Amino acid sequence: MSDNNTAYDLKKVHEANLKILKEIDRICRKYRIKYLMDAGTLLGAVRHKGFIPWDDDADVAFTRNNYEAFVKVVRRELPEGMTFFDCTTLKGGKAFYDFTSRIMYDKSKTHESTPEMEYYEGTLNHLWVDLFIIDELPEKKSSAALTLFLHKAVYGLAMGHRYQLDFSNYSFMYKVFVGGLSAVGKMIPMKIIFKMQRMLAVKDKKGRSNLRYYSNYQPDYLYVTLQKEWCEETVDLEFEDTKLMAPKEWHQVLTWIYGDYNKLPPEKERVPSHSSMEIEIYE
């Protein structure tokens, strides 16, 4: 499923991503675990019956209990050529990229060899499917705002363990905020920061709220919140040559995230956005 407007042919990228998605689906159905197509992958399922023609990644999400059940079985279930990457184990738990674990497609390359890729020991230089986690968010506005602010603060601390910080697109105040947090974060072992993030994500796991959020999203997207009923039940949606799980209330989810989700973006925006080079697939 390629498009004349893409920078390069994404057919092989889509084929590799589909293999990962099918494995996630197989594992989850075997163990009665619920997952959800998320973000552009969900949008693609609804609008294109498969991948968005110019999209070069795939995303799925789990509620907390389903995610933890998935992690318990995924390593022994994945076939040769795919690897579960636990974000808390990067460089022995001493380095940080983000708080998102992934399923890697081993026979692939997504970036040129750079000092940054060498710093991460090549672990992140593969095609992958992101695994996002949906946690409970307090309904009280002030409590929800505090939770999201603390997530951003913890992310800022963790940035002290990244390869380097790029402030080129940020305001002066944001540079001061993140720069200060990352300086403090360098003095805190990354393993402790990972524990802080998890404690923050599960602190409201009481079933009292009808609000949910993606606790391991990057800070810019923490504003995305869901209603409990939107994401607790699943339906199967057609996706390429198979069917994958989606939130039962997919219309509400897509409308909240994208607005008029059936409207195509301008042609100039229909390009891959997640890799710095043409993604290479080795078979």
pLDDT digits (tens, 9 = 90+) for 111-121: 677 788 778 87
d(CA 124, CA 129): 12
Both tokens of residue 90? 């990067």
In this predicted structure, what is the pLDDT of residue 215? 95
Nearest to 161 by CA among 210, 88, 52, 242: 88
CA distance between the termini of the chain: 19
d(CA 133, CA 196): 16
Both tokens of residue 165? 């910080």
In this predicted structure, what is the pLDDT of residue 275? 53
> In b/e form, how buried is each residue of 241-273, taking b as 16+ CB within 10 angstroms?
eeebbbbbbbeebbeebbeebeeeeeeeebebe
Nearest to 256 by CA among 222, 280, 281, 225: 225
Low-confidence residues of the chain, pLDDT below 50?
1-7, 276
Please spell the DSSP secondary structure of 20-34, one letter per residue: HHHHHHHHHHHTT--
In 3-state terms, what secondary structure has residue 263?
A: coil
Kindly give, in sequence order, each residue whose CB lies less than 8 Å from that of residue 187, ignoring residues fewer than 6 positions away.
160
Q: What is the pTM of this model?
A: 0.90
pLDDT digits (tens, 9 = 90+) for 11-42: 888 999 999 999 999 999 999 999 999 999 99
Question: Is residue 23 a contact partner of residue 76, using CB atoms and an 8 Å limit?
Answer: no
Both tokens of residue 219? 């800070």
In this predicted structure, what is the pLDDT of residue 207? 78
In this predicted structure, what is the pLDDT of residue 5? 42
In this predicted structure, what is the pLDDT of residue 172? 76
Nearest to 153 by CA among 128, 110, 124, 188: 188
Percent with pLDDT over 90 in the chain = 64
Both tokens of residue 38? 């998320």
In this predicted structure, what is the pLDDT of residue 125? 81
Secondary structure in 3-state letters for 185-225? HCCCCHHHHHHHHHHHHHCCCCCCCCEEEECCCCHHHCCCE
